[in-house]
Amino acid sequence: MPFDKLKQFRSSVYTILGKAKDALFDLMDAVLVTRSVYSFVELSVSPVFRRKWCSIYEALEDSNPPRCELMQLYIQQLPKTEQLVLAGDHTAWPRLEAVTLKERTYEHQAQPMSGAKPVTVGQGYSTIAWIPETQGSWALPLLHERITSFENPLEKAAAQLRLVCQNLPTRPLSLWDAEYGCASFVKNTADIAADKLMRLRSNRLLYSAPPPYTGVGRPRVHGNKFKLNDSTTWWIPDQMLEVLDPKMGRLCLRLWCNLHFQQSAKINMHVIQVERYDEARSRTARPLWLVWVGKGMPELSQIWRHYLRRFAIDHWYRFAKQRLHWTLPKLGTREQSERWSDLMPLLTWQLWLARELVNDRPLPWQKSVTNLTPGRVAQSMGAIFAVIGTPAQPPKSRGKSPGWPTGQPRTRKIRCPIVKKGTYRPQKQHSKSA
């Protein structure tokens, strides 16, 4: 039967969700069939949510989705015959007015107005996702976790990548943005069985391998400097290639082998420069710098195409915030926020498994497409639920709540300060004079 795989996945999720699983399933179905809502509680008036409006908050208060078990369930859906492509990144859930929410931190967020500081106050979330297609906006999260106040995005991403790779059958390729292209992340992930392709900022400084030891003095750790924004420090590349791409136009690719950061001298990397020549304006665009850390680097003509698949995780963040209503609720505790965030990968995987079961149903102002995006699949999920039903049990009458006891005083919630994370810089050790 064509619906068996989706039904089996939903049944497996239902068995491992634990407490409040019936209300959680109704909540997830309500999200998938509801295109837009003004407030979080409006999801309770959806036809597929069979409980009272207060059950939405009670489900997030009582439940505790097992994140590792759900990750293993996602991994079971991965193909076994091809190399897996993963992408990692982090984003912010702004909570500017939640003064009683614990562990709010300063997070990076792009601002639409030029000159505005890209900073917000809220919670940061780090994600490791599987990118199933060479083109498109599909990104399927395997881990989606909050970055605590005593973690930074690099440490959290390294821990997530280690946990995911321990459960994968083959060595994956992971894609990372320029924030992760640094010595700290390279050292934290050196012992992980995964290839890494990262973007580098244009002001990075690298070093070549040291020359042979001459027998005099201390052996050198670094070789010649290689500054990305200073072409006078470059030497002849180990490989150079010109490519004519139908979309990007004429590209010049250069490869320098066996470079390293100053703080990670023992880890060799291959640096790739992708320079695009804009023939319409008769000038060369700003080059893209990539670095490869791993085994068996792909051909130079193809490696830059792998990095383009990383942008799918940015599309997923926008899809989760806009269509899956991830940042809509104003939850009062960090535990509720984490439990609600754990449902975002579940919702995305259900859409992925249903993509071949639905027909495109565009809105009057939309054009028909052949390859369905997550949003287009979500527009047809109502018909899917009418066929497969839900594993959740119908609600039971629980009576009327007695309400707040008369005469019992109410106390205001404690206001929590914003946590400002600091950067640890090791102090120089000064030798004591004799």
Confidence of residue 425 (pLDDT cuts 50, 70, 90): low
Contact 49, 136 (CB under 8 A): no
Contact 22, 50 (CB under 8 A): no
Kind of pairing between the strands at 119-130 and 205-208: unpaired
Residue 434 and residue 423: Cα distance in Å, rounded?
34
Q: What angle do CA 62, 324, 63 make, to 5 degrees?
A: 10
Token pair for residue 243? 């490519």
Task: Name the residue with tokens 């090791």.
Answer: 426
Residue 69 and residue 142: Cα distance in Å, rounded?
11
Which residues have CB under 8 Å from 319's CB, separation 6+? 137, 348, 374, 375
Instruction: Check residue 176 and give its pLDDT.
Output: 97
Confidence of residue 429 (pLDDT cuts 50, 70, 90): low
Q: Could you tell me which of 396, 365, 329 has the C-alpha nearest to residue 93?
A: 329
Kind of pairing between the strands at 269-278 and 288-293: antiparallel
- pLDDT over 70 percentage in the chain: 96
Instruction: Check residue 432 and give its pLDDT.
Output: 52
Q: Could you tell me which of 95, 104, 94 has the C-alpha nearest to residue 416?
A: 104
pLDDT tens, 99-134?
A: 999 999 999 888 888 778 889 999 999 999 999 999
Answer whether residue 426 shows pLDDT above 80: no
Q: In 3-state terms, what secondary structure has residue 426?
A: coil
Beta bridge partners of 272: 255, 290
The average pLDDT across 189-200 equals: 95
**Is this model's pTM higher than 0.75 or not?**
yes
Answer whether residue 281 shows pLDDT above 60: no
Token pair for residue 331? 């939850």
